[in-house]
Every structure is written in C-alpha cells, then in structure tokens.
Structure 1
C-alpha cells in the first residue's frame, strides 16, 4: 500500500539540543502534512518550558503531549518530564515505564514505538546530545523502512547522540539544523510503500514493557550475562543487532554501551560514598573508644583500638582516592 509520504516525525535531543530544535521548527511550514513528536532529556522533577519555547519558534502548534491523543498533522507533541512519549495505534501514549539509557523520557522508546506503529511512514531525527540514546531506535526505524537523519556533528554542541545514530545507521543523512527542516518537509512528499513487517528483534517486547502491556520475561530475547542492572540489580541480557549491542533486564530497563558504563560509574561512586561515610563513622567510634580506654588505663584495649583506627584511616584514604579516580576516569572514557 502506497501512502502520500512520511507523515510521522520523531525527534530526539539532549544537551545542546534546544537551539537546533527551535531552528528546525522555524523552518517547517505551517501546513506540514505530518505530526511531530519530540523527546528532550529533562529532569524528572518540576515542569518543562520546552513546549512553550517550541510553540513560539514557528507556525506549528506545540504543546505537552497528553495520553491517548489522536495525532494530527501540523502539531508538535512534546514529551512531559518523567514520562516516556510513545506512538501506539496512531495515538500519543505517556508512560512511567522502565527508564531507557537512564532517562525518562528517552529517545529509544519513542523511535521504536513509532517504527512499530507507522513503519516506513516514519522520519527520525537525532540532534545534539551526550552518550547514545536513540541509536537503537534509529536502527528499529531503519528495519521497518523509515528514514533517519542526524544533525551534522560539526554543528553539535555535544555530538554523542548523532554520532551513535550514524554508527548504528551509517547511511543516515547528516545535515545542519536548517537542512534537517527541509529534509523533513521533503520526506512528507516522498511516497512510501508499506512493506511486510520484518522479524522482531525484541523491539515489540520493549515497547510493550514501557506501555506496561507485557509481563516480566525470564529471557527477554538476549544472552544472559553475569552482570546486574544498575537500576534494579536484576539480571542483564545482552541483545545483538546488526551494528550495536545493548543490555536489557527482565523488567525492561534498557542500556546502550555508553549509558551502561555511565550508570555503572554512578553506582560505583554511590557505593564508594556510602563506604566513605561508614568508615568515617567507624574512625569516630574508635577514637571515642580509644579515649575511654585511656581514661580507664586499659593499655591492651587501647593498643588494639589504636591499631584498628589506623587501619580504618588507611582504608578511608584508599577509598577516597578510588572515588576521585573513578570519577575522572569515567569522564575520560566517555569523552574519548
């Protein structure tokens, strides 16, 4: 079945992505024959002013997405804080399902749900941002016949997300923000043919988990690893695709390579701070016991506590050094 053109546009951005978003929307026509869905990584707390910013950027009406809205042409649907935005049966869906790549909202659930719902009618765009959220989603869009474009990495304040998308889909188009707007418009005028669905690679289960339509699975289409999810400590499964691998736990938390490394670094740092706090408390307790043993003339007890206090101080110095090194090494690894 042929359709008039790609009438579903999904856009993802993170750090440094607001300005190119505004630029893109300022160049899109008011009669765009497509609906636009936008995810920006934002804090889960408080409110977002992104919809107001984008509403003033150009002729398209932008507003925070509501659950179960029938999508309309010429409208921009903006993900709300702490809610994934998805497309399901032609309607917007909001969900507080499992985080993806440490984010909610995240790019991958939106892109994957759109790929499943609209197939070749999808145009996906990845703008400036750190790490690699959106790469798996771009691959899902490609598998279902959609088109992918990314912001030119030379123009990006943070090129991580566009670079990861290009690694996952090497034939994706790379353009500056204004060029991306014209590319989107051209895609809406490019007739596409609905093809048969390709074999599922786990995308359906992940989208169903975000929508909370699927039960916890013993084997979420992957190889069981000797690793645990940084978020829920459940067992992790590695999923392989054409160019990328990712990690999924039984409840649906999903991690790309870079987001997994960062999440593990955060978990280790948190554990080290807990250890530092406990060791400092132990030093204070031993010092108190030392004072009391000295007052009572308990020489052997005083010597034992003194030796233990020295060992604890040495452990404290070691862990403080590790905490500092892990933070720096993690930053260096992710920027390399």
Structure 2
C-alpha cells in the first residue's frame, strides 16, 4: 500500500494542527546589559539591535517589552569597578542589585528577573574567578560567587544563573540562599557552558574578555558530549532547578542528550555570535531573517529546550513572528 504522509501537509491549517513542536512567548528570556550613568542607550556595534542601558532607560525599555508580552529578562552588569578580588560583584550598590531593586519597585511580580552570577565583568583580568599563579582558584571563587548570588537575592532577583563553571558552585549557592531565608529563589545553572568562539560579541558587550589566556581550564571542551551530561547531572544533584546549555545552535545534540537524562527543565542560551551572524547575513540580504530566526528557535525547542534566552525575542514579538 502506498503511504501518503503528504495528506497532513496539505494546507497551513492541518500542518499547524499536527505540528509536533510549538513556540510561545512564555518560553523566552531577554538579556539586558546595564551600565552606569543616566539616560544611556548605547548601541552595541557587534550586536545590531542590542544596547547598553542605564537603569533609568532600562526601566523604560522593559516597560515597552512588557506591553509586548516579554516578561522574563536576564540582567548582566557592565562597568562596575574591577579588581583582583572582584569585590564589587557582591556590593549592594553595584549595578545589578540596584537595577533589580528599581525593577521590582516599578513592576513587582509582573516581571521575572534572572541575574547572571559570574565575576568576569568584575575582575581586572576578565576571568570568572579568583586568579593565583595564573590559575583560577576554584574554591575561593565559589565562595565569592555564592556571596554574589546572595546579594542579587537580597535585591529581589527571582532566579540566579551562575555561569562561571566552577565545581560545586550550585551547592554553595543553594546552601547560602537557604541559610539566609531565600529558599524560594531558583537556580538556572549554566550546567554545560562550552569554551566557545561564539561568545565574541558578548565579550565586547559585557567588557569581560580575558586579558590573559583563555577559559578552557574551567569551561567545557566542546568535543565532550558525555562529560557535558555528567556536568549537568552534578548540578542537578547540587540543587539546580533548571539546566542550561550554552551556546545553543552548535550544541543541539547536547540538548537532546540531556533531555533523555533529566526531568528538569532545559534552557538554551542563543548566544551573541549566533545572533550576530544572522543579523550580519540578513543585513547583506543573503538570508531571510524571519525564516532563519524562527527555524533556529524551533530547532532549540525540537531538541528539548523549554526555555530560550535570545536577543531575537524583541524582533520576534514586535514583528509578530509568533
């Protein structure tokens, strides 16, 4: 007998009815970069459509986003004081906690705030921890990261996203939060963050490129999918609520493999290099931006991600692509 699967592709109505993968606004998180000053909206050259915001302009832009249904954000601080001990990372008056307090004051629970927890933008060498003899000291760095997590929680963050890739940091964060009355603050671990070339534009945006060496001694080797799953499951055992894979597009196999090994929600970070490549090719007229962006988003969801952090979300909602 001849099988005719094309019957279920006959027109848009039936294709939508039988679609196995769906997208909604609820899946997306929008990253923001907050900087010192007032009335600052500074476009980031390497990331067309993305800007640095001071806290006052951040409030206005997020208000616009909320009107479009974008109610989940991830905050990165840029421009705080840098030092070898990254002490500004846990200063209550540093950029991120100040912005979180203002955002919660204005928007309350209408806005869900995720904060990046990493010290690379606060060290004078650009690495994600305390350096001694040209090596990142794991346990000292974990203590610092836990203090930073508590600082953000005290300001009102709903979820923390540790991105440093130090061993044991999820357990340390969970213990620090639970011991200080923040047991309801969630942790979305960058569980498998790879040492990737796709981060290039972000490092300009966040002013966090290492001044010496690279991050291969603590970020994941992109050749190792089994190790990636092991890293993620260790974070789950330490108390993570969500497991993130970063970058996304080159690691769909890792998302799918992790999906088969955990019952936790899986997030993906559609990183700056992935975003900027699409923007650059679209600007040249070489690709259809809408079609490529949406194909990419569906690929993340199809692989198993239920949370997508992406710089594309404003284009998606403003242009009603979903």
> Does the alignment reach a TM-score above 0.5?
no
Q: Which has the larger radius of gyration?
A: 1
Larger relative CO (CA 8 A, sep 6+): 1 or 2?
Answer: 2
TM-score of the pair, normalised by structure 1? 0.28
TM-score of the pair, normalised by structure 2? 0.28
